[in-house]
Every structure is written in C-alpha cells, then in structure tokens.
Amino acid sequence: MSDRKDNFEERLKEYPALRRRFQSILDIVKDTTASVDKADEAEQLLIDEMRQMGKEALHDWAVGKEKEKVKDLVHDNDGIKKHSKKKFHGIPLSER
C-alpha cells in the first residue's frame, strides 16, 4: 500500500491544478472553513469541485495528447517545419 501511496503522490506532483482540487475537496470533507452547516451545501460544494477537477483533468489530458501528436508528426515527417512568423510583409505601397 505504501508503494501505491508514494506513486500516487509522485504522479500528483506532475499536475498541480489537480493537487489543489484534491486539497479543496479534502478541506470540504474535513470542514476546515466551518462555514457549511447543511449536507446540501456541502454536496453542492463537492459537486462543483469535482466538475472543476474533471475540466482540469481533461485539459491536462488534451495538452498531453497534443504534445504527443506533434512529436509523432515531427518525428515521422522530418520535412515538416514548425510554424514560424512570416518575415515578408508584402510590397510597400510606395513601390507599386
């Protein structure tokens, strides 16, 4: 069990946004703010945190997939150039 716990903590360090969400959820469960008196209020706070955590997790997943796809494309096609800013702005009006 200790190995799984260490592994989870190490993996969580890679995702600071998710780590903050887990901390917020634990704060609600532990009721560190003492501002929630009803179960309905606590439930709504937990639902909101879980939704936000889901959005952040999906965002992190998408960013990772995008990086992976770009890396694969560049590796598979050595001739592909990455996007770069154009240096030619056209012919100046005075020269036309």
If we measure between CA atoms, which residue out of 26, 65, 25 comes closest to residue 49?
A: 25
pLDDT at 22 over 80: yes
Q: For residues 8 and 58, what is the distance between their CA atoms, to the nearest angstrom?
A: 18
Exposure on the CB side of residue 38, measured as CA atoms within 13 A: 3
Q: Percentage of the chain surpassing pLDDT 70? A: 83
pLDDT at 80 over 90: no
Mean pLDDT of 12-38: 86
Q: For residues 6 and 29, what is the distance between their CA atoms, to the nearest angstrom?
A: 22
Mean pLDDT of 14-41: 86
89 token code pair: 């702005």
Answer whether 69's CB lies under 8 Å from 63's CB. no
Mean pLDDT of 36-61: 92
Residue 96 has a pLDDT of 58
Mean pLDDT of the chain: 83
